[in-house]
Amino acid sequence: MSFLDRIHACTAFNPDRYLPFQIDDAVVGFVTPELAARLAAFADVFVVNAGSVNLATALITPAARTAAVDRVLRALSQQGVVNGWRDELYPVAAHPSAPPLLLIERAAVPLFGTYGSGIHVNGFVGRGADMRMWVGRRSLDKPTAPGKLDQIVAGGKSADHTIWETLLKESEEEASISPEIAALARPVGAISYCTERSKGLRRDVLYTFDIELPEDFVPSNSDGEISEFYLWPISRVMETVRNTDDFKFNCALVVIDFLIRHGFVNHSEPDYLDVVKGLHGF
Amino acid sequence: MSFLDRIHACTAFNPDRYLPFQIDDAVVGFVTPELAARLAAFADVFVVNAGSVNLATALITPAARTAAVDRVLRALSQQGVVNGWRDELYPVAAHPSAPPLLLIERAAVPLFGTYGSGIHVNGFVGRGADMRMWVGRRSLDKPTAPGKLDQIVAGGKSADHTIWETLLKESEEEASISPEIAALARPVGAISYCTERSKGLRRDVLYTFDIELPEDFVPSNSDGEISEFYLWPISRVMETVRNTDDFKFNCALVVIDFLIRHGFVNHSEPDYLDVVKGLHGF
């Protein structure tokens, strides 16, 4: 097992197995042929060709598209195709930073292979060899990656929150980090990947933050998403990421990026260059 | 002008304009048709086809290949095709981390489009809004990018030095940084790019380091490569990289990476995701 194995867990995507999902010729996602066959039944919303799935061109405005697609998604939810409805809208566009062409329910994002984004926060205390990192264990009733290890704070960014609002909201909910302490968070970059998971495609950009926490700060979870927090020596974090897949697939990449930026994983590591590049794979 | 302009200055490479340079079917570089025509005259060393330039298969060992290619390079130097002979050997391989298949004179690296690598050090004092960065101005007699701005320390890595040895050597030569102070340097990642420059292709990996220098440290150049050092507020460094091309093309990328990792350039920046990804372009 190696850091590169963690990268490879986030690169399982073969576009030949999908049909591009397009709005006005812009590719905004990827759907399976099975989903395309179901979408063909909603011909006023989705135009399904041999080589692509297109949003009906009569749907001109983002609001009209959002309403029409929502109707289809609710039907697919009835059919058991969309599961775990969240009542959170995610933007859909050809680039994760572009203005949204429509908004769709979060639970449908992996099915349509549209971009997702989120914030992930590395919470640590101490420096150098004395550094320790706060690690959360995801609750066993989480729909995604139950029981896996996670950052102290991480969460998806919906269409109605900015990156910074998402950071503040998740810091409070997941770890009882006050806005005053959350303000210590420093943006440090972004990682990206596209990978097949059981629920569909994860085609994500994660905005990453470091926060050096006070020594006496102890996180506590208030939304039931994290069952336990651990304060681990950085060496234990490093060995866990290198030698196991205990961290959730994308959280492992956030940890590796942290270890690289802080010099704990460096050019003496086999595959170093491929790991560095692999953090920005998509 | 924008940070993305600095990225684009490092992405000017169209492989259709080059022939792959191969050793036993592994692509190790890219040469122009003009150079290929010259290499055809050395048929015992280079086998030139319509679609590729191959090293003669009779040259089996790295030592034999190195000696044979050196003979050709010296002839090309006589012809004025290879300029600025450095007497430094660089490794040639299909991946920048792979064991070298042969070694070639540094001055020939851009002509053959083989990988180059180097170390670049961000030297700074202070933290947060008070941070200042040491910036060097390259001497006007440098063969590459004379008069451009540079990191406090940067240098190419030849085949006979490790990354860390290169860091120590260049720190001493370029900025009179003692081994004791150089030991404070922290590896923070690597950037990569492939771009056409006047002397040929630059297809490089730069191993990046941060060094927080003592407030009373003042660099001084001892090898004639830097004409002046400036200690600039980080805001000035940022504006200079954003609004001018005063920094040497690849040094600009190293600065941008620093600004991202330290939170000075963040998600509020237009093109943020493209800039982050563009630092790992090759």
What is the per-residue pLDDT for B70?
Answer: 98
Distance CA B154, CA B146 (A): 14
Average pLDDT over all residues of chain B: 97
Q: Say whether both A144 and A254 belong to one domain.
A: yes
Distance CA A127, CA B147 (A): 38
At B143, the pLDDT band (50, 70, 90 cuts) reads confident
Q: Say whether both A54 and A122 belong to one domain.
A: no
Q: Say whether both A135 and A103 belong to one domain.
A: no
- Inter-residue contact B191 to B278 (CB < 8 Å): no
DSSP string computed for A79-94: TTSS-S----EEEE-S
What is the per-residue pLDDT for A2?
Answer: 96
Q: Say whether both A34 and A153 belong to one domain.
A: no
Q: Say whether both B151 and B242 belong to one domain.
A: yes
> How crowded is residue B40: how many other Cβ atoms within 10 Å of its Cβ?
13
* Domain limit, last residue, from B96, B112, B128: B112
Distance CA B33, CA A105 (A): 53
Domain range for A225: 3-11+116-278
ipTM of this predicted structure: 0.96
Chain A: residue whose CA lies nearest to B273: A190
Q: Minimal Cα–Cα distance from A189 to chain B, Å?
A: 6
Q: pLDDT (tens digit, 9 = 90+) per residue, B90-140?
A: 999 999 999 999 999 999 999 999 999 999 999 999 999 899 999 999 999
Question: Among partner residues B97, B187, B279, which is closest to A273 by beta-carbon distance?
Answer: B97
Within 8 A of B276 by CB-CB distance, chain A residues are: 189-190, 280
Determine contact: B207 vs chain A, CB below 8 A. yes
Q: What is the CATH number of the domain that holds B43?
A: 3.30.750.160
Q: Say whether both B84 and B207 belong to one domain.
A: no
Q: What is the CATH number of the domain that holds A190?
A: 3.90.79.10
Determine contact: A266 vs chain B, CB below 8 A. yes
> How crowded is residue B81: how many other Cβ atoms within 10 Å of its Cβ?
15
Q: Say whether both A39 and A83 belong to one domain.
A: yes
* Domain limit, last residue, from A51, A86, A112: A112
Reduced to 3 states (helix: H, G, I; strand: E, B; else coil), residue A47 is strand
Q: Minimal Cα–Cα distance from B186 to chain A, Å?
A: 6
Within 8 A of A95 by CB-CB distance, chain B residues are: 273
B208 Cβ contact partners less than 8 Å away, ≥ 6 residues apart: B119, B120, B121, B122, B187, B188, B189, B190, B191, B254, B257, B258
- Both tokens of B250, joined, read 């690849």
> How crowded is residue A273: how many other Cβ atoms within 10 Å of its Cβ?
19
Chain B: residue whose CA lies nearest to A282: B277
Q: Say whether both B181 and B83 belong to one domain.
A: no
Q: Which H helix or E strand runs over A76?
A: helix A62-78
Q: Say whether both A98 and A142 belong to one domain.
A: no
Q: Minimal Cα–Cα distance from A13 to chain B, Å?
A: 18
Q: Do A263 and B186 touch (CB under 8 A)?
A: yes
Within 8 A of A267 by CB-CB distance, chain B residues are: 163, 187, 190, 207
What is the per-residue pLDDT for A104?
Answer: 98
At B34, the pLDDT band (50, 70, 90 cuts) reads very high
Q: Minimal Cα–Cα distance from B260 to chain A, Å?
A: 6
Within 8 A of A273 by CB-CB distance, chain B residues are: 95-97, 190, 192, 205
Per the listing, tokens 């009569």 go with A58
Question: Among partner residues A186, A189, A266, which is closest to B276 by beta-carbon distance?
Answer: A189
B255 Cβ contact partners less than 8 Å away, ≥ 6 residues apart: B122, B133, B151, B237, B241, B247
Per-residue pLDDT of chain A (282 residues; tens, 9 = 90+): 899 999 999 999 999 999 999 999 999 999 999 999 999 999 999 999 999 999 999 999 999 999 999 999 999 999 999 999 999 999 999 999 999 999 999 999 999 999 999 999 999 999 998 999 999 999 999 888 999 999 999 999 999 999 999 999 999 999 999 999 999 999 999 999 999 999 999 999 999 999 999 999 999 998 899 999 999 999 999 999 999 999 999 999 999 999 999 999 999 999 999 999 999 988
Distance CA A157, CA A162 (A): 7
Chain B: residue whose CA lies nearest to A258: B188
Q: Say whether both B53 and B137 belong to one domain.
A: no
Question: Among partner residues B262, B266, B280, which is closest to A276 by beta-carbon distance?
Answer: B280
- Both tokens of B33, joined, read 């048709």
SS3 per residue for chain B: CCHHHHHHCCCCCCHHHCEEEEECCEEEEEECHHHHHHHCCCCCCEEECCCCEEECCCCCCHHHHHHHHHHHHHHHHHCCCCCCCCCCEEEECCCCCCCCCEEEEHHHHHHHCCCEEEEEEEEEECCHHHCEEEEEEECCCCCCCCCCEECCEEEECCCCCCHHHHHHHHHHHHHCCCHHHHCCCEEEEEEEEEEEECCEEEEEEEEEEEEECCCCCCCCCCCCCEEEEEEEEHHHHHHHHHHCCCECHHHHHHHHHHHHHCCCCCCCCCCHHHHHHHCECC
- Inter-residue contact A154 to A121 (CB < 8 Å): yes
Q: Do B261 and A207 touch (CB under 8 A)?
A: no
What is the per-residue pLDDT for B184?
Answer: 96
Q: Say whether both B136 and B259 belong to one domain.
A: yes
* Domain limit, last residue, from B54, B77, B112: B112
Count of the separate structural domains present in chain A: 2
At B282, the pLDDT band (50, 70, 90 cuts) reads confident
Q: Do A267 and B188 touch (CB under 8 A)?
A: no
Q: Do A272 and B190 touch (CB under 8 A)?
A: yes
Name the pairing type of β-strands B200-212 and B116-125: parallel
Q: Say whether both A260 and A167 belong to one domain.
A: yes
Q: pLDDT (tens digit, 9 = 90+) per residue, B246-271?
A: 999 999 999 999 999 999 999 999 99
Interface of B with A in 80-119 (CB under 8 A): 95-97
How many CB pairs (< 8 A) connect A and B?
A: 66
Distance CA B68, CA B29 (A): 17
Distance CA B131, CA A205 (A): 29
> How crowded is residue A107: how many other Cβ atoms within 10 Å of its Cβ?
21
Question: Among partner residues A186, A192, A261, which is closest to B188 by beta-carbon distance?
Answer: A261
- Inter-residue contact B202 to B111 (CB < 8 Å): no
Chain A: residue whose CA lies nearest to B118: A267
> How crowded is residue A183: how many other Cβ atoms within 10 Å of its Cβ?
13
How much is the average pLDDT of B150-176? Answer: 97
B47 Cβ contact partners less than 8 Å away, ≥ 6 residues apart: B53, B54, B55, B56, B57
Reduced to 3 states (helix: H, G, I; strand: E, B; else coil), residue A67 is helix
